[in-house]
Structure 1
Amino acid sequence: MLPAFGLYTHIQANRRRSALLIAGLFILFYLMTYGLSLLWLAFADDGSGALDTLLSEAATRTLWLAPLVTAIVGVWIWCAARFNAFILGLATGANDITRAEETELFTLLQNLCISRGLSMPRLRIIETDAPNAYASGMRPEQYTITVTRGLLDRLDKRELEAVLAHELTHIRNGDVRTMMIAVLVVGLISFIGEFAWRSLGSVSRSATGSGKKGGGRFAAMAVALALLIVAWMLSIVIRFSLSRRREYLADAGAVELTHNADAMISALRKIEGKGELQDAPSAVMELCLDNPRKGFSDLFATHPSIEDRIDALVRYAGGQPVIDALPSPAVAGDPAA
């Protein structure tokens, strides 16, 4: 098992890095504002403006727009903070479950919370065969752990406890709040980027049709496009960096809570590549225990591979790379477990 001092040192360092990354995401809004201002000026230019003049005027407009941009982003985050549970419920079809419906699930989570003096989050379930789970919420009263029916069917009691401990660690470390902010910010950046791309197409057709040439118009359009692409790409890289770091720490936190690295390893092996929530948007999948959706050559994978996570548990938490001893009853909570 990981030494407590080492684990908490990594958690604190990760929180500092995450704060810087989130700040970086917000800075990207100002970069996009500059790019959009430059794009607008290039569109309005009659062909006589020099590139340096357009760049300078775009900078001035960005300074004037900065307070408005900050307010818009703030309102967006506030609305999401208020209604994220409702939005996630609509996106995934998750429903609240009671202790009477899933007594063992409630008992396992309650015992984990008591062992660390944590408040009990709500529990929800998605009726799908895909085995997966995620934690959500931006405030203590919103914290929720959502599991799928497939997860309950595939995992035994010890494995299910490890998964709950993993998700509880995300809540305990403040990961869910950070990740939801990141997802919301990147979602807004992506929306703005798509709008800018469509606008650029209109600008190009208009410029071609009007025959306007010369000056810094087209050079400004090229610079604006480059800035928007860079801002979008950086937002994706930052979001992926946040996701990957947190999964390793949540796995380690699960071992700290359960004292059972082998159960975490066994649970990961059972869900590997099977957790695709068919109708869930990509933002939801990024919150999940395992996200089988990959980019080209895994460059844009939001989670480290299951093998990498198991390797970390073997090297640093004393787990066994191959777990054959843990039973796998048909339904979690079966007396045979």
Structure 2
Amino acid sequence: MLQAFGLYTHIQANRRRSALLIVGLFLLFYLMSLGLALLLRALLDDGTGTFEALFQSALWGCLWFSPFITGLVALWVWCGFRFNDFLLSLTTGSKPLARRSSPRLYNLLENLCISRGMTVPKLRVLETETPNAFASGTRPEQYTVTVTRGLLDLLDERELEAVLAHELTHIRNEDVRTMMVAVLVVGVMSFIGEIVYRGLRDGTSLLDDSSDSKGGGGKVIAVIVAAVFIFIAWWLSLVVRFSLSRRREYLADAGAVELTKNPDAMISALRKIEGKGELKGVPSAVMELCLDNPRSGFADLFATHPSIEDRIAALVRYAGGNAPLAKAQTPTIPEAPAA
């Protein structure tokens, strides 16, 4: 069976990923800033400037403002680490779950934490019929397990215990810290990219006007190059999210079994939520935190979650699960990261 706790190499790999993600955020911001500066220079140009002149002006502007850009990114990272629980609850609309409204859930969570010597995370609920759950936070006082109302209504006690154990494993293995940093990277890049896309779409007349004037070709080229820079920064932010190992979900499933001693409960929970976990109105970056993030077809190639079938197959093969598989298959589990 896969061992989910005491995986020093896995935890160290998560710490390295978090550091690299933060460095990557700075680099992506510099590239995005260059694209935005070039786009601004092009849109303000009267159509007589050459591409070389516009690009040089944008580059010098970025170099001049680089300390400000660095400080802005550092502030964003600090705010993300400091207030990620507030930002996430604001984004998803989750609310604190009172003990009196769900005493059995609190009892299950506390018993699991006591058995592993962990600090009990906060509990929040998302009022939706969609069955799903996720863990979040970057430090012990922020660690939170969020469950949906649909999950509470759908699962029985042993299945809820397995799901809670799964999310606690993410906290114990520091997966949540890595994913929260990824949410910061993807979220800000997606936000800026969408604003720029809408602006370019609504401002195409500016390019049409400039293309008819003498020297307008430089402006058009500058806008195209700026859009390419911004697109690359946005695309690389998505690659950051896609690069996160699927192995963490296998390890979290194994951690649930290690805590509960009941592989069939984890299998049963996965079966019940399979294909039903899409949270409407929740950003895709947040969905990567969830217990299940349904994908199909081409999109599955870039998913950070393995399929439910592969996860169940792993539990049957390695954890002694007895639940029958819907499809006969052998799970392919990624290799552990190098120490």
TM-score w.r.t. length of structure 2 = 0.82
Q: Deviations over 1:31-79 (max 9, x none)?
A: 1111112222333445454444443433322222222122223333434
Distance 2:137 2:242 in 1: 19
Greater shift in the superposed pair: 280-289 or 220-229: 280-289
Distance 1:109 1:18, change over 3 A: same
SS at match of 1:138: coil
Q: CA deviation at 1:317?
A: 3.6
CA drift at 1:323: 7.4
What is the CA-CA distance between 1:133 and the residue it aligns to? 1.0
Alignment check: 8 A CA contact 1:34 1:62 kept: yes
1:238 pairs with 2:244: no
Q: Which residue of 2 aligns with 1:184?
A: 184
Q: Deviations over 1:188-215 (max 9, x none)?
A: 1122112322443466422422433436
Counterpart for residue 332 of structure 1: none
- AA at the equivalent of 1:291: N
Give the C-alpha shift of residue 26 in structure 1.
3.0
* Distance verdict in 2 for CA 1:302–1:323, change over 3 Å: closer
Take 1:192 and 1:55, find their aligned partners in 2: how far apart are those partners? 20
Judged with a 3 Å threshold, the aligned counterparts in structure 2 of structure 1 residues 316 and 52 are, in CA distance, closer, same or farther, namely farther
**Offset of residue 285 of structure 1:** 2.7
1:228 maps to which of 230, 245, 257: 230
Aligned counterparts of 2:94 and 2:138: Cα–Cα separation in 1 = 17
> Equivalent residue for 1:151?
151
**What is residue 335 of structure 1 aligned with on the other side?**
none
Deviation larger for 309-318 or 124-133? 309-318
**Aligned-partner residue type, residue 213 of structure 2:** K
Alignment of 1:62-211 (within 5 A): 62-201=62-201, 204-210=204-210, 211=212
Once the 2 structures are TM-superposed, how far is the Cα of residue 264 of structure 1 from its aligned partner? 1.9
Cα 1:238–1:28 change in 2 (3 A) is same
Following superposition of structure 1 onto structure 2, how do residues 31-46 of structure 1 map, counting pairs within 5 Å? 31-46=31-46
Unaligned runs of 5+ in 1: 325-337
Over the matched positions of the two proteins, sequence identity in percent amounts to 66
| Counterpart residue number, 1:286 | 288
Q: Please state if 1:307 is matched with 2:309.
A: yes
CA RMSD of aligned residues (A): 3.0
Change in Cα spacing, 1:109 to 1:323, as seen in structure 2 (3 Å) is farther
The answer on whether the counterparts of 2:11 and 2:174 sit within 8 Å (CA) in structure 1 is no
Cross-structure match for 2:300: 298
Report the residue type matching 2:149 in the other structure. Answer: R
C-alpha deviation, 1:132, in angstroms: 1.3
Which residue of structure 2 lines up, in the alignment, with residue 212 of structure 1?
A: 213
Cα distance, 1:53–1:320 mapped onto 2, change above 3 Å: farther
- DSSP-derived class of the 2:226 partner: helix
Alignment-mate amino acid for residue 290 of structure 2: C
C-alpha change, 1:316 and 1:227, in structure 2 (3 Å) is farther
The answer (yes or no) to whether the contact 2:4–2:254 under 8 Å persists in 1 is no
Q: Secondary structure at the match of 1:292?
A: coil
Alignment partners' CA distance in 1, 2:291 and 2:5: 25
Contact 1:262–1:323 (8 Å) recurs in 2: no
> Matched residues in 2 for 1:6 and 1:140: separation?
18
The code of the aligned residue for 2:267 comes to: I
Aligned to 2:26: 26
Q: Which residue of 2 aligns with 1:260?
A: 262
* Superposed displacement of residue 271, structure 1: 0.9
For 1:271, the equivalent position in structure 2 comes to 273
* 3-state SS of paired residue (1:10): helix
Q: 2:243 aligns to what SS in structure 1?
A: helix
Q: What residue in structure 2 maps to residue 17 of structure 1?
A: 17
Q: Which residue of 2 aligns with 1:334?
A: none
CA deviation map 1:66-102 (0-9, x unaligned): 2212222333343444444344444444332344433
Does 249-258 or 63-72 show the bigger shift? Answer: 249-258
| Other-structure match for 1:333 | none
**1:183 Cα shift?**
1.6
State the TM-score, normalizing by the size of structure 1: 0.82
SS of equivalent residue, structure 1 residue 124: strand
- CA 1:119–1:82: 2 relative to 1, 3 Å: same
Unaligned stretches of 5+ in structure 2?
327-339
Moved more, 134-143 or 224-233: 134-143
Tell which deviates more after alignment, 295-304 or 258-267: 295-304
Alignment CA distance shift 1:111-1:92 (3 Å)? same
Shift of 1:111: 1.9
Q: Deviations over 1:226-252 (max 9, x none)?
A: 111111111112123337453233223
Alignment of 1:1-16 (within 5 A): 1-3=1-3, 7-16=7-16
Query: Which residue does 2:61 correspond to in 1?
Result: 61
Q: What number of residue pairs does the alignment pair up?
A: 324
Rounded Cα–Cα distance in structure 1 between residues aligned with 2:187 and 2:221: 28
